[in-house]
Amino acid sequence: MFYDAVEGISRDSLAALQTERLRRSVATCLASPFYGKRLRALGLGPENFNSPDDVRKLPFTVKDDLRAGYPDGFLCQPRDAFIRLHVSSGTTGAPTAVYYTANDVDSWSHLVARCMHAVGLRRGDVFQNMSGYGLFTGGLGIHYGAERLGCLTVPAGAGNSKRQLKLLRDFGVDGVHIIPSYALHFGHFLQQEGIEPGDLKWRFALIGAEPHTERARRRIEELLGLKAFNSYGLTEMNGPGVAFECAAQAGMHVWEDAYIAEIVDPVSGEALPDGEVGELVMTTLCRDGMPLLRYRTRDLTRFIPGECACGRTHRRLDRITGRTDDMIIIKGCNVFPMQIEQALMAMPEVAPNYLIELYQENDMDQIRVKVEIQDEVFAADDRTRAALHKRLVARLRDEILVTPAVELVRRGSIPPAEGKAVRVDDRRVHEDCRSGA
């Protein structure tokens, strides 16, 4: 039933395993320039950790620490012990680098294979990786996991929809890895090619790398004619494979034999009970080369209370609802881009792509949402478009408590993203600089 027996072990046995591995991680971190200094200053060593909850004795690690330690301030092994690195800079700020030993890559591949097995993929299935390769961890991370599981793996890479379709057909692909925004774009491409959802053999899509709502997931499933499974990963914790949905699609099991996950109040840093939304904090338990202790992910989620119908004992994370650092404040209201997507995806007249524009008018921050609409609606009369515009404005106002400007545009006029979708165009800083020139 399970890929690993550890997926179903008792909570007490899992806690004992976490404690053993936490001690080992702390011992390893003593060799790190960053953590060695921090741990010795606090008088902490492996002997101070006797339960997973003892991880709270440690201070948080934040992205600025990784940036300050770039390129190798967190390494616990000599440079020649490492076989790969991934560099992540995000959209702003200095870069961060994460290094992997051969054992780290092996452990990571095993976790991804476990994730893929949990959704229903099996040895002998054909798997097409429609994700970008390179410094982005999603490409190589998923690829190695698929090979570890025993899938015939097609490294298609991102984009080029006609080539993707040919590969899907020629090799009878069973499962794919695809970015949600590109999945929506590809679904409409299939419609244009006259392909119905049931025409292709595929059964599974692994989606992740960018936030998306449950409505967006269901639209992907309808457009592509398969089951789409949510995933969670971040470069600092390896990449994909940190947490994954099982066949029940009732939350993402975070692999607690490899990580200690906490949900904390973003302001106080105090632990929150299951069911309450807060910031996810992660500690690695199986990394030899560059372990991280209590890393603040800035991702907002919660632990889902109760047990999963699949029988796995590892706790479940709800989908990411936003980040502590992507909140938009408009007219005194806190707005997350995910709220806007949820409102848009509820309307069938809306096409997959949209763009949130932030700008200043009369020294006040303003928000405008450009929304692609379906071709038949765009071609309709002015009265029909005006009615849709009115409904969209009302729905967005109800969701975010601010009345945004809404611009309806033809489908395809916003360039589709084949990597991570750019959903927010913040022009406020640029306009301020220009006005002060």
- Please measure the distance between the N-terminal and C-terminal CA atoms of the chain and give it in whole angstroms: 65
pLDDT reported for residue 418: 58
431 pLDDT more than 60 = no
**Per-residue pLDDT reduced to its tens digit, 18-72:** 999 999 999 999 999 999 999 999 999 999 999 999 999 999 999 999 999 999 9
Amino acid identity, residue 57? K
Q: How far apart are CA 249 and CA 229, in angstroms?
A: 7
CATH number belonging to domain 328-435: 3.30.300.30
**Per-residue pLDDT reduced to its tens digit, 96-118:** 899 999 999 999 999 999 999 99
Across 93-102, 115-124, 242-251, 392-401, least confident range: 93-102
Integer CA distances (angstroms), 200 to 151, 209, 232, 284, 379, in order: 18, 24, 27, 39, 30
pLDDT reported for residue 104: 98
Cα torsion 331, 276, 248, 420 to 10°: value is 40
Q: How far apart are CA 340 and CA 364, in angstroms?
A: 20
Q: Are 109 and 258 in contact (CB under 8 A)?
A: no
136 pLDDT more than 90 = no
The upper half-sphere exposure of residue 380, i.e. CA atoms within 13 Å in the direction of its Cβ, equals 17
Domain boundaries, the chain: 1-324, 328-435
Quote the pTM value.
0.84
In the chain, % of residues over pLDDT 90: 78
Q: Are 301 and 263 in contact (CB under 8 A)?
A: yes
254 pLDDT more than 80 = yes
**Per-residue pLDDT reduced to its tens digit, 295-339:** 999 999 999 999 999 999 999 999 988 788 877 878 767 788 888
CATH number belonging to domain 1-324: 3.40.50.12780
Confidence of residue 91 (pLDDT cuts 50, 70, 90): very low
The torsion angles phi and psi of 53, rounded to 5 degrees, stand at -65, -20
pLDDT reported for residue 149: 98
Confidence of residue 437 (pLDDT cuts 50, 70, 90): very low
Name the nearest CA neighbour of 286 among 2, 11, 22: 22
pLDDT reported for residue 313: 98
Helix (H, G, I), strand (E, B) or coil at 281: strand
Confidence of residue 428 (pLDDT cuts 50, 70, 90): confident
Place of tokens 């084949």: 418
Averaged confidence pLDDT in the chain: 92
Q: Which residues pair with 265 in a beta bridge?
A: none
* Interacting residues of 293 by C-beta distance below 8 A, sequence separation 6+: 25, 26, 29, 35, 55, 58, 61, 283, 284
